Amino acid sequence: MVQETGAAGAIDIAVAAADVADLAISVSRRDGQFRQLTDDPSYVTDNSANVSATVRVDRFLPDRWGLSIPVTVHRTLVSSDPFYLSGTDLRGDALQGLRTPRTSSASYAFSARRIRQVHGGLARWMLDPVSLFGSYASGDARTTLSRASGSSYALNLDYTMTPNATVTRVAGMALRLNPSRIHFRSGVVGTDAERFTFVVPIQQAGDSAPPAVSRTRAWQNSGGVQLTPVTGMQLGVDAVSTRDLRDYGDSTTMGRLIRQQHSSLFGSDVGLETQRLLTTSIALTPRVSTWIRPRASLGSSFAFTRDPNARQPARTEGDTAGEFRVPAAFTNARRLETGAQLDTRRLAQAIFGDSSGVADWLGHITGLDVTYSTQQGSSFSRATDTPPAGYQLAFGGFDAFRQVDGLLATSAMQNTTLSTGGAAVLPRGLRANATYRLTRGVIWTLRTDAQVPIRTRAEEWPNGSINWSFSPPSRQLVGRLLSNVTARVGYRRVESSNEQPTFGTLGGSVALNSTIDKTFTPSAAVTWIGGVFTSFDLSRTTSDRLSAGNLFRSVRDAHNATVTFSFRPPTRGRWRSNIRTTAGYSVADNTTCLRRAGQKACVPYVDSRQTQAQLTMDTDLPTNMSAGLQMAYVLNEERQTNRKISQFVITAFVQLSTSVGQLR
């Protein structure tokens, strides 16, 4: 069988009919005996065909209409004919009714829009912003034990308008009255799919299970308006609505409820709304002065979903009373952020004058920024209908998020964050930066029929670093030894706490958990004369976590040192490349201990250490070759289990690069 000859071939045809149409055809076949010189036959004959075409229908219309209407068609067919039945030595051609793998797909799409804009009149408002898009796709896939088919269609009408600004003067200020952008989209989408599964790969009567059927029919609408009434102010509202147009019948409770909650428009059934998204935004960036740049933004995001495929309906009054409704859920989030960026040099110049020493001193402070933000949000999972407009637009205080019309939120949260930071350029090549952040939050979560608070707090301070860079002059003694020195020292401390009521207790007792993390990270790097580079860094992190009176303390230390240089080989001749060398050494320790409530000693239960040394040497050889040698030693210790593992690895490699030109 291996001695049989295989064949493979492909044909590609591309036709371009000026700017009217394009056609591409691709056909290929590879039989089961075809193979490369060092490969085995696949014993599967693969056939594929692909046809795609694009026709510019607008070329057949009058040019004065100014339309663009491309129509695209794509068709694909892939089939496989196995020589043997999968997983056996049975000949496939000896089995009558064998299901062979096959895949086919087809897609059709068109779009229509105006490409020649007019400058005025009704056409600018009614025709230019309008575009139409439609598509249809179908396909099926067959394997030896399954078969699936499906189709989908979509038809969308878009309207996007950017009106010219209409500006009027009010109290000496330019005010734009009309929107800066208007967009709207409406479309219908639908899908149909079914899947069959079979017991055996040979076609037999009644060998398939009942098909799994999926069907969707939806009407989607979206729109939005953006306003820029004055310079430095932007307002926007966007909404998306999806309506389910499927008929669920009246044989089930859910089906009858869906029919009752259907809506009508101009006497036509427009289905049941299953999704709604509503976002609002306001952004302010006023120009106050050259030394301060304030900013403020306010935004909300509302989402509503209704589940027509739920098993059980929901009641409007708790779980046992009220009318039946299709289960729904909704969420909303509102975020307010204010801040300002300060230019200390320009501030001092405005107060003390351009040539004052205070302005020169404050000019070393850069990137000073202050930000305050607050975020509120809630989610309702036991709803039956859409909430009022006040909740959708995020009006009211935090209490309006915790409950809507007597319905308690499943969860509601409120967070506030204050952060500031800046940098200072100091003499002698020093640069320092520092940041501060304080976050407070409360989450009201629903337990049975009441909401309980979970309070959090996190403070990050101090948090900063000092960087130093020094390049000595070459005429000095130090400059004759090294060319550059850089060093950095960083420190960060974060304290966080979590407070929540305990279960099954009286008197309002709470459980308090707190964590304090400290990180110290010094590092240094020196570039020596002669191309020698050395670096060293250290990291020490400690974490103290207090939970239920027990203290968990973790300490992690890491040290790393590297030396990089290159030297000439001792031999002479055509070998002119230097040998690049890198040596490194690192140590890492990780320990964790537990101090129980009422005890003084912290008992360690994790003590792991790792030591690693590595040497790497590589160079370029003549005739497009490179070679290298790497040696590494690794020692891992798990002292809590009295286990130690060491490894020594030597790796040598040679790389050859060749070029044989280009065949055409």
Q: Mean pLDDT for each 10-residue chunk of the chain (664 residues)?
A: 72 90 92 74 86 93 88 94 73 74 94 81 78 95 89 95 82 82 95 89 75 91 94 93 90 86 86 94 91 94 92 77 87 96 87 78 87 96 89 93 92 96 90 96 90 94 94 78 93 95 66 94 93 95 92 95 89 72 96 90 92 93 83 93 93 79 48
In this prediction, residue 273 carries a pLDDT of: 93
Name the H helices within 5-116: none
In this prediction, residue 426 carries a pLDDT of: 87
Q: Rounded distance, CA 385 to CA 388, Å?
A: 9
In this prediction, residue 571 carries a pLDDT of: 66
In this prediction, residue 661 carries a pLDDT of: 53
Q: What stretch of H or E contains 389?
A: helix 389-392
Q: Rounded distance, CA 521 to CA 523, Å?
A: 7
- Entry pTM: 0.81
What is the secondary structure of 99-133 as a DSSP string?
A: PPPEEEEEEEEEEEEE-S--SSSHHHHHTTTEEEE
Q: Rounded distance, CA 93 to CA 88, Å?
A: 13
Place of tokens 């210790």: 637
Residues 6+ apart with CB under 8 A from 410: 378, 379, 380, 381, 382, 445, 446
Beta pairing class for 102-114 and 67-68: antiparallel
In this prediction, residue 316 carries a pLDDT of: 76
In this prediction, residue 1 carries a pLDDT of: 45
Q: How far is CA 308 from CA 193, 240, 268, 466, in A?
A: 19, 19, 20, 60
Phi, psi of 478 (to 5 degrees): -65, -35
Q: Rounded distance, CA 493 to CA 279, Å?
A: 37
Is 414 buried (19+), middle (13-18) or exposed (0-12) by CB count in 10 A? buried
In this prediction, residue 508 carries a pLDDT of: 62
In this prediction, residue 173 carries a pLDDT of: 78
N-terminal to C-terminal alpha carbon distance within the chain = 34
In this prediction, residue 552 carries a pLDDT of: 94
Cis, peptide link before residue 129, omega less than 30° from 0: no
In this prediction, residue 50 carries a pLDDT of: 95
In this prediction, residue 572 carries a pLDDT of: 57
